[in-house]
Amino acid sequence: MHRHPDDYIKPELMACCGAREIKDGDVVIVGTGFPTMAANIAKYTHAPNATLMQESGVFDARPRRPALSVGDPCLNPGAAMIGGLVDIMGMFLQAGWIDVGFLSGSQVDKFGNINTTVIGDYNKPKSRLPGSGGANPIGSLAKKVLIIALHNKKRLAEHVDFITTPGYIDGPGSREKWGLPDDTGPHVIITNKAVMRFDKDTKEAYLA
């Protein structure tokens, strides 16, 4: 009899890796898809007192099915609060109350900077991307940022073409230089092949 299951798929394993980064009692801002899966795995296993919130303003949602968007009505029944974007992104996030934020992007570099703006030169891009949404404030102000990315050369770049969401920017001291709060920033990059953390001194990602 196997001690460990072998009938899982990689996205499920990635979600479990994300769930492990959430501690009991954490306040977590999630979106849809993978982050929701990871956050709910944590809440229903080792972190029952974690509080999950959506950018749209739903606080401590307890949906009975996976949400299709951050504004899905299934998030509302049983939630502790149904507010708005300003409540979550303005009050909770800017007050420093968010422990964990999930992000992804088209490019992620060794300092955890995320690009969701353009590929190529900003003024003459090869392609334009969806933009920041709430990613910039989450990456700027959440205490720990968990980054989800596919493991390939296009996604994991030496340097991003454009910094939509700041990681450690260009190395030690950069976040502080640009006025971002202490003890915030990227915590881990989770891919379909590896988990990478950030060196405390160089602020560069390394294979964990």
C-alpha 48/C-alpha 26 separation (Å) is 10
Q: At what angle do helices 34-43 and 10-20 cross, to 10 degrees?
A: 50
Class of the CATH domain delimited by 10-207: alpha beta
Residue with tokens 């700041």: 166
C-alpha 55/C-alpha 137 separation (Å) is 11
Q: Is the pTM of this model over 0.85?
A: yes
At 70 the pLDDT is 84
Tell which residue, 103, 102, 84, 100, has the closest CA to residue 51.
100
Helix (H, G, I), strand (E, B) or coil at 126: strand
66-80, 146-160, 163-177: least confidently modelled range:
66-80
Q: Which residue among 12, 21, 55, 176 is the active-site one?
A: 55
> Residues 140-156: pLDDT tens digits?
999 999 999 989 999 99
What is the residue-wise DSSP string for 13-29?
A: HHHHHHHHTPPTT-EEE
Within 10 angstroms of residue 205's Cβ, the number of other Cβ atoms is 23
Within 10 angstroms of residue 34's Cβ, the number of other Cβ atoms is 19
> Residues 19-67: pLDDT tens digits?
999 999 999 998 778 888 899 999 999 999 999 999 899 999 888 888 8
Active site residue 21: no
